[in-house]
């Protein structure tokens, strides 16, 4: 068993090449009037070409902040990266000066956000905004940029794309706007796409369409996809592996199939049990009691101990490191084995 | 867009009617002697009273009066003084200078106001930021005539940089008065621009633009500037009314023969027929400017157009 | 017509902020659930806490208190008679016996400035009160009842908005001019009326949008569902939320009205002698400004200080209550 918090990279190390994108022991803090909040407290994960990593967690778990740190778009102040590395094909992005770092944004690593209406500039047409990627990064003319924008809009399956290229964001529906954001993000064929809660603000049927679109695009372009979400249902269809985050740390890592069958952490277990199920209709909903902690006042020992149904004295004293439970799965719990076996 | 224009024009009409009616009420139709004070400190000569009564039909019920008043207005008849001088003639002579003065003032507002707002919006908390915040607060609070006299004394008399009166009406002579006139609005513009810029810099689409790999200069200069400028345009339009009022004071102080100076002198001479006629014209100008600004706003902000 | 607050130092587009504390999500994501040692801090107590420490708030308040006392009890500040004028002393500069010198008529400028506070501040206070009450009333009616009541209120507001403050003041006062013989209270009353007729519109708009915002809030819907009648909802829910933006604006507009009175008096159309106000004093001092600046500068300085104090006060209160600046 490894005794560090880093995700033991399987085939990649064996093959000897660096993962496409690797987050290594990242630390991010927020300095506010009410104290210093450790929003990201030693997070490590990675993603390969063609692979989908789902980062799962409640609000405040640090999943979005990690993504923003990867992109380098953290609000600073009050946020500061205080440790760790973010490696793209082996190159540590955090150590680069800003203008070199900027070269990766949009071109190698792209990001889409939750609320497409506020994420798009209201006073420019969608064609202009998509075309901007080509005009700025590849020096295309306005006309060519607009033509490429039309192509992209068709690729993301916007009906009547050629007529709507000069429309404004507020003239589209929520699902269409999200597609426009996706179009902007994949315009330059990035290697990694980070999707921060892309479907949270959408209707369920539209959600499914967007996830299908993302999956198809990923397959065509062999992108690495980091899907940030709090919705377990979305994860099951799309992701290959999953990292569960809580209070700024990763609590469990596994392949998706394994985790649904048998979770190895009480938090994951609680999340799975709290999904309403048709066959349990009429019974009490099994929610995890309590609320996530304020990040300026994280409890000592295991962060989850105030809410854990299996809490023991050691949980209040010693913080459990993220360790392998079985090869390929790790969990940050003193009793991970017992949770996995079901003996707790 | 065309529909929006028509809609605004239609909305304009009741406001226009209402405002002129209000002016009419205030000036002519309130209880009391409508001729009180309209001829200086003396009571009006009988001939004037008779002529005006006939002209404005003051013996008729008020709605008739108003109708005829409006008819006169639309024909450009804004009344006459008891000496028989047509208000509209005086105005035609006086407005070119005021027009020049106003244009220069608005240029000051835009260039200095927006410039200061952008600089301080980008560099918050610095020395420049605090300086601008404090000085704009001062400028907004100091009544325009105090600013006018002080600058006239400092820059005109003491330092001799600018002519003390704008009598010549040349552009150079109008620079100092235009600056005084623009000062309060300029200060507002700087503050509003600053606030807008700060808010827009925090918005989600700025985050998206940065995530697209755009340089900071482009994110600020192209993406946020346009969004931040739009409310400023509205502000300049709305504040135009204060500008017109301020023109009366400024032209008075700097001895400029424009519409403002005309009103200023007429107040002193208690020639209130002239005052009310000229001010009515100014109010109408204000309404028109507001309409233009509204249309401009729609041209710039697509969200309004397609409502 | 579009709706900027042209009288407000920094209109932010949004006219009024709802003042409920945002429970639930802090920027750190954690729930804002008070632990045992945390006292829940409401926005009001937070704001007051900040205000007490703000040097701007303290300075402005002190200045205002001084001037209000000066207006109410001018005798405390000087024992000279502002009406006693000796032509021999005309236009003499400041000296040990007369700190601010003498004006054109030979009257003591210091005494006139002190006594001038009363009329200036009185006009400001009366106008602001009238404007706040009427504007708030109209705004509340329009915002709360909606429908045609709102249309009427909005159209009327638009119409009055079409006349700028100064121009309208000139119009009204030209139609009812005061002369040397008019009794003091009438002169003051006319100026108050002239300003109040046109100044209520911005307050009406602020009140209206606050009411509309509050009306749509969930807890108001709940109150109505529970059978709360209009007066009760207005009193218990709408008013507390509307109070702060209205107070902020009223403070700022007080400063503006004092300035407006001074401008009108300066033009010769506002307060007239023998009423003494800062505007009147400045008007008197303006003619010989270049030769004897002291006649204008001292009352001018007092005027500027007072207006500045009110506007700064309003600004400070607004910033303290703005949840976005936390």
CATH of the domain at A262: 3.40.50.300
From A88, A85, A84, A76, select the one nearest A31 (Cα to Cα): A76
Chains contacting A (3 or more CB pairs within 8 Å): B, C
pLDDT at residue C26 in the model: 37
Considering only alpha carbons, which residue of chain C is nearest residue A79?
A: C28
pLDDT at residue B36 in the model: 60
> Which of A106, A115, A121 lies at the smallest CB-CB distance from B213?
A106
A173 and A216 co-located in one domain: no
Name the interface residues of C facing A (CB cutoff 8 Å). 25-33, 35, 326
Interval B60-99: pLDDT, tens: 666 777 777 777 777 777 776 656 677 778 888 888 889 9
- Kindly list the residues from chain A whose CB atom is less than 8 angstroms away from the CB atom of residue C27: 30, 32, 78
Interval C254-269: pLDDT, tens: 988 998 999 998 888 8
Measured between alpha carbons, how far is C109 from C299 in angstroms, rounded to an integer? 8
Radius of gyration of chain B (CA): 23
Measured between alpha carbons, how far is A17 from B253 in angstroms, rounded to an integer? 80
Minimal C-alpha gap between A229 and chain C (Å): 15
| Contact check, Cβ <8 Å, B234/C164 | no
- Kindly list the residues from chain C whose CB atom is less than 8 angstroms away from the CB atom of residue B196: 12-13
Q: Which residues of B72-108 are buried (b: 16+ CB within 10 A; e: fewer)?
A: ebeeeebbbbbeeebbbebbeebbebbebbbebbbeb
Q: Does A238 or B168 have the greater pLDDT score?
A: A238
Tell whether the model's pLDDT for residue B43 goes beyond 70: no
Measured between alpha carbons, how far is B280 from B286 in angstroms, rounded to an integer? 10
Contact of A314 with chain B, judged by CB distance below 8 Å, is answered with no
Best B196, B200, B208 member to test A by mutation, with max A CBs in 10 Å, is: B208
> Which of A33, A78, A292 lies at the smallest CB-CB distance from C30?
A292
The region, left, alpha or beta by phi > 0 then psi within -120 to 50, assigned to residue A277 is beta
> What's the mean pLDDT in A81-87?
92
Considering only alpha carbons, which residue of chain C is nearest residue A294?
A: C30
Is the CB of residue B282 less than 8 Å from the CB of residue C162?
no
Query: Quick one: DSSP state of residue A139?
Result: -
- If residue A87 lies in a helix (H) or strand (E), which one and from where to where? strand A79-88
* Structural domain count of chain A: 2
A6 and A82 co-located in one domain: yes
| Contact check, Cβ <8 Å, C25/A60 | yes
Contact of A104 with chain B, judged by CB distance below 8 Å, is answered with yes
- Kindly list the residues from chain C whose CB atom is less than 8 angstroms away from the CB atom of residue B283: 162-164, 167-168
Measured between alpha carbons, how far is A142 from A132 in angstroms, rounded to an integer? 8
| Contact check, Cβ <8 Å, C31/A30 | no
Measured between alpha carbons, how far is C72 from C299 in angstroms, rounded to an integer? 17
| Contact check, Cβ <8 Å, B227/A105 | no
Measured between alpha carbons, how far is B263 from A175 in angstroms, rounded to an integer? 60
A209 and A175 co-located in one domain: no
ipTM over 0.90: no
Across chain B, mean pLDDT equals 82
Within a 10 A sphere around the Cβ of B180, how many other Cβ atoms? Answer: 26
Most confident of B19-23, B249-253, C279-283: B249-253
Considering only alpha carbons, which residue of chain C is nearest residue B253?
A: C286
Q: Does A124 or C226 have the greater pLDDT score?
A: A124
Minimal C-alpha gap between B220 and chain A (Å): 12
| Contact check, Cβ <8 Å, B213/A181 | no
From B249, B287, B275, B284, select the one nearest B87 (Cα to Cα): B275
SS3 at position C85? strand
The residues facing A324 across adjacent strands are A330
**B-C interface: how many C-beta pairs under 8 angstroms?**
184
The token pair that represents B197 in the structure block: 């810029």
A184 and A197 co-located in one domain: no
| Contact check, Cβ <8 Å, C28/A30 | yes
The token pair that represents C305 in the structure block: 């200080």
Measured between alpha carbons, how far is B177 from B162 in angstroms, rounded to an integer? 10
A233 and A142 co-located in one domain: no
A10 and A88 co-located in one domain: yes
| Contact check, Cβ <8 Å, A181/B208 | yes
| Residue A326 belongs to some domain of the structure | no
pLDDT at residue C28 in the model: 39
Considering only alpha carbons, which residue of chain A is nearest residue B202?
A: A75
pLDDT at residue B168 in the model: 65
| Residue A231 belongs to some domain of the structure | yes
The token pair that represents C42 in the structure block: 């409401």
Measured between alpha carbons, how far is B208 from A130 in angstroms, rounded to an integer? 12
pLDDT at residue C25 in the model: 38
Contact of B226 with chain A, judged by CB distance below 8 Å, is answered with yes
The token pair that represents A271 in the structure block: 């999340």
pLDDT at residue C1 in the model: 31
Domain that residue A130 falls in:
116-189
A182 and A126 co-located in one domain: yes
- Tell me which of A145, A173, A189 is where a domain ends: A189
> What's the mean pLDDT in A131-139?
93
A94 and A15 co-located in one domain: yes
Please, which pLDDT band fits residue B294 given cuts at 50, 70 and 90?
confident
- Laid out side by side, the sheet with A21-32 consists of A35-47, A21-32, A79-88, A91-92
Minimal C-alpha gap between C118 and chain B (Å): 18
Please provide residue A35's backbone torsions phi and psi, each rounded to the nearest 5 degrees.
130, 180
pLDDT at residue C9 in the model: 35
| Contact check, Cβ <8 Å, B245/C164 | yes
| Residue A69 belongs to some domain of the structure | yes
| Residue A83 belongs to some domain of the structure | yes
**B34-43, C100-109, C137-146: the lowest-pLDDT one:** B34-43
pLDDT at residue A93 in the model: 92
Considering only alpha carbons, which residue of chain C is nearest residue A292?
A: C30
Show which of residues 19-48 on chain A sit within 8 Å of chain B, judged by CB atoms.
Answer: none
Interval A187-205: pLDDT, tens: 999 999 999 999 888 888 8
Query: Quick one: DSSP state of residue C228?
Result: -
Residues in Cβ contact with B93 at an 8 Å cutoff, skipping those fewer than 6 apart = none
pLDDT at residue C242 in the model: 76
Residues in Cβ contact with A35 at an 8 Å cutoff, skipping those fewer than 6 apart = A296, A297
Interval A242-295: pLDDT, tens: 999 999 999 999 998 888 888 889 888 888 887 777 777 777 777 888 888 888
> What's the mean pLDDT in A287-307?
84
pLDDT at residue A47 in the model: 93
- Tell me which of A142, A169, A189 is where a domain ends: A189
Contact of A168 with chain B, judged by CB distance below 8 Å, is answered with yes
Is the CB of residue C311 less than 8 Å from the CB of residue C303?
no
Minimal C-alpha gap between C310 and chain A (Å): 29
**DSSP letters for B110-137:** IIIIIHHHHHHHHSTTSHHHHHHHHHHH
Measured between alpha carbons, how far is B160 from B183 in angstroms, rounded to an integer? 20
Is the CB of residue B206 less than 8 Å from the CB of residue B223?
yes
What does pTM read for this prediction?
Answer: 0.80
| Residue A323 belongs to some domain of the structure | no
A141 and A256 co-located in one domain: no
| Residue A308 belongs to some domain of the structure | no
| Contact check, Cβ <8 Å, B293/C266 | no
> What's the mean pLDDT in C68-97?
77
> Which of C2, C13, C156 lies at the smallest CB-CB distance from B294?
C2
First to last CA, chain A: 22
> Which of A99, A105, A168 lies at the smallest CB-CB distance from B212?
A105
Torsion of CA B120, B296, B7, A168, to 10 degrees: -70
Interval B104-131: pLDDT, tens: 999 999 999 999 999 888 887 788 888 8
Contact of B204 with chain A, judged by CB distance below 8 Å, is answered with yes
Domains of chain C: residue spans and CATH: 60-325 (1.10.3720.10)
| Contact check, Cβ <8 Å, B282/C177 | no
> Which of B203, B215, B226 lies at the smallest CB-CB distance from A118?
B203
| Residue A95 belongs to some domain of the structure | yes
pLDDT at residue B81 in the model: 65
A262 and A217 co-located in one domain: yes
Is the CB of residue B212 less than 8 Å from the CB of residue A182?
no
- Kindly list the residues from chain B whose CB atom is less than 8 angstroms away from the CB atom of residue C162: 15-16, 18-19, 283, 286-287, 290
Is the CB of residue A225 less than 8 Å from the CB of residue A52?
yes
- Tell me which of A269, A289, A309 is where a domain ends: A289
> What's the mean pLDDT in C60-87?
81
| Contact check, Cβ <8 Å, A123/B207 | no
A133 and A246 co-located in one domain: no
A254 and A210 co-located in one domain: yes
| Contact check, Cβ <8 Å, B23/C163 | yes
Alpha helices, DSSP H, located in chain A: 11-15, 63-71, 98-102, 116-119, 126-138, 142-155, 161-164, 174-186, 204-221, 232-238, 256-261, 266-273, 313-317, 336-341
| Residue A328 belongs to some domain of the structure | no
> What's the mean pLDDT in B8-23?
83
Measured between alpha carbons, how far is B284 from B187 in angstroms, rounded to an integer? 26
Interval C202-256: pLDDT, tens: 889 888 888 888 777 777 778 777 777 767 777 777 777 777 788 888 888 898 8
Considering only alpha carbons, which residue of chain B is nearest residue A121?
A: B205
């Amino acid at each position: 068993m490894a005794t560090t918090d880093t995700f033991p990279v399987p085939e990649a190390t064996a093959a000897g090449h660096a993962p496409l994108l690797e987050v290594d022991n990242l630390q991010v803090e927020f300095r506010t009037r009410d104290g210093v909040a450790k929003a990201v407290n030693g997070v490590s994960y990675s993603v390969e070409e063609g692979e989908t990593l789902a980062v799962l967690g409640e609000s405040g778990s640090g999943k979005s902040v990690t993504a923003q740190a990867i992109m380098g778009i953290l609000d600073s102040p009050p946020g500061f990266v205080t440790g760790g590395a973010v490696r793209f094909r082996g190159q540590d992005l955090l150590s680069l000066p800003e203008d070199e770092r900027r070269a990766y944004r949009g071109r190698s690593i792209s990001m889409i956000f939750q609320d497409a209406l506020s994420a798009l500039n209201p006073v420019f047409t969608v064609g202009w905004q998509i075309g901007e990627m080509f005009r700025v990064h590849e020096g295309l003319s306005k006309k060519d940029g607009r033509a490429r924008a039309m192509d992209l809009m068709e690729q993301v399956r916007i009906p009547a794309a050629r007529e709507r290229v000069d429309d404004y964001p507020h003239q589209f529906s929520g699902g269409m706007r999200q597609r426009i954001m996706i179009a902007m993000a994949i315009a330059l064929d990035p290697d990694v796409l980070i999707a921060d809660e892309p479907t949270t603000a959408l209707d369920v049927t539209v959600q499914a369409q967007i996830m299908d679109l993302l999956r198809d695009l990923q397959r065509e372009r062999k992108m690495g996809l980091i899907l940030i979400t709090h919705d377990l249902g979305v994860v099951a269809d799309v992701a290959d592996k999953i990292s569960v985050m809580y209070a700024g740390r990763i609590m469990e890592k596994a392949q998706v199939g394994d985790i649904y069958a048998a979770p190895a952490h009480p938090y994951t277990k609680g999340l799975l049990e709290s999904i309403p199920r048709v066959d349990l209709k009429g019974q009490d909903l099994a929610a995890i009691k309590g609320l996530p902690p304020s990040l300026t006042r994280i409890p000592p020992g295991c962060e989850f101990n105030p809410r854990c149904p299996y809490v023991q004295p050691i949980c209040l004293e010693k913080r459990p490191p993220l360790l392998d439970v079985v090869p390929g799965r790790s969990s940050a719990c003193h009793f991970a084995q017992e949770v996995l076996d079901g003996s707790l | 867009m065309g529909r929006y224009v028509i809609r605004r024009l239609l909305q304009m009409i009741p406001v226009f009617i209402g405002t002129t009616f209000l002016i009419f009420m205030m000036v002519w139709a309130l209880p009391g002697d409508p001729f009180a004070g309209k001829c200086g400190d003396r009571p009006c000569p009988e001939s004037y009273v008779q002529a005006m009564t006939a002209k404005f039909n003051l013996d008729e019920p008020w709605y008739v009066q108003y109708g005829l008043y409006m008819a006169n207005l639309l024909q450009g008849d804004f009344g006459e003084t008891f000496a028989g001088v047509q208000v509209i003639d005086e105005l035609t002579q006086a407005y070119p200078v005021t027009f020049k003065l106003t244009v220069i003032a608005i240029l000051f507002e835009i260039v200095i106001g927006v410039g200061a707002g952008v600089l301080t919006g980008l560099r918050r908390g610095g020395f420049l930021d605090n300086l601008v915040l404090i000085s704009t607060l001062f400028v907004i609070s100091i009544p325009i005539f105090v600013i006018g006299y002080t600058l006239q004394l400092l820059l005109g008399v003491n330092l001799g940089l600018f002519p003390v009166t704008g009598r010549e009406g040349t552009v150079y002579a109008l620079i100092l008065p235009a600056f005084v006139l623009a000062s309060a609005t300029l200060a507002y513009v700087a503050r509003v621009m600053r606030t807008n810029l700060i808010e827009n810099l925090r918005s989600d689409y700025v985050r998206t633009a940065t995530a697209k790999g755009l340089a900071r200069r482009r994110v600020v200069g192209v993406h946020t500037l346009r969004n931040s400028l739009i409310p400023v345009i509205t502000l300049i339009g709305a504040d135009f009314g204060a500008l017109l009022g301020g023109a009366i004071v400024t032209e008075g102080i700097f001895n400029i023969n424009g519409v403002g100076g005309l009103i200023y002198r007429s107040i002193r001479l208690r020639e209130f027929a002239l005052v009310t006629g000229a001010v009515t014209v100014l109010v109408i100008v204000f309404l028109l400017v507001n309409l233009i600004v509204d249309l401009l706003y729609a041209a710039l902000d697509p969200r309004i157009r397609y409502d | 017509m579009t709706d900027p607050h042209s009288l407000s130092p920094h209109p932010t587009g949004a006219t009024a902020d709802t003042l409920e504390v945002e429970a639930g999500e802090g920027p750190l994501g954690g729930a804002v659930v008070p632990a045992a040692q945390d006292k829940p801090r409401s926005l009001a107590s937070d704001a007051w806490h900040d205000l007490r420490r703000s040097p701007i708030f303290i300075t402005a308040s002190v200045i205002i208190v001084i001037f209000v006392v000066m207006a109410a009890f001018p005798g405390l500040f000087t024992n000279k008679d502002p009406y006693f004028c000796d032509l021999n002393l005309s236009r003499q500069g400041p000296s040990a016996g007369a700190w601010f010198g003498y004006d054109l008529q030979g009257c003591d400028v210091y005494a006139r400035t002190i006594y001038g506070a009363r009329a200036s501040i009185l006009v400001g206070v009366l106008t602001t009160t009238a404007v706040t009450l009427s504007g708030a009333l109209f705004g509340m009616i329009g915002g709360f009842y909606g429908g045609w009541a709102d249309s009427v209120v909005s159209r009327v507001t638009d119409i009055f908005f079409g006349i700028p403050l100064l121009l309208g003041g000139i119009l009204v006062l030209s139609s009812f001019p005061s002369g040397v013989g008019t009794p003091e209270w009438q002169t003051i009353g006319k100026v108050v009326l002239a300003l109040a007729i046109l100044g209520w519109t911005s307050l009406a708009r602020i009140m209206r949008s606050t009411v509309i915002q509050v009306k749509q809030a969930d807890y108001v819907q709940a109150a109505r569902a529970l059978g709360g009648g209009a007066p009760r909802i207005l009193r218990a829910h709408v008013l507390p939320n509307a109070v702060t933006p209205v107070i902020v604006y009223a403070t700022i507009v007080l400063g503006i009205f004092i300035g407006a009175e001074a401008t009108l008096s300066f033009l010769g159309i506002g307060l007239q002698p023998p009423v003494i106000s800062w505007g009147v004093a400045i008007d008197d001092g303006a003619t010989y400004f270049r030769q004897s600046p002291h006649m204008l500068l001292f009352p001018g300085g007092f005027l500027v200080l007072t207006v500045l104090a009110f506007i700064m006060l309003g600004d400070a209160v607004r910033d303290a209550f703005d949840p976005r600046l936390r």
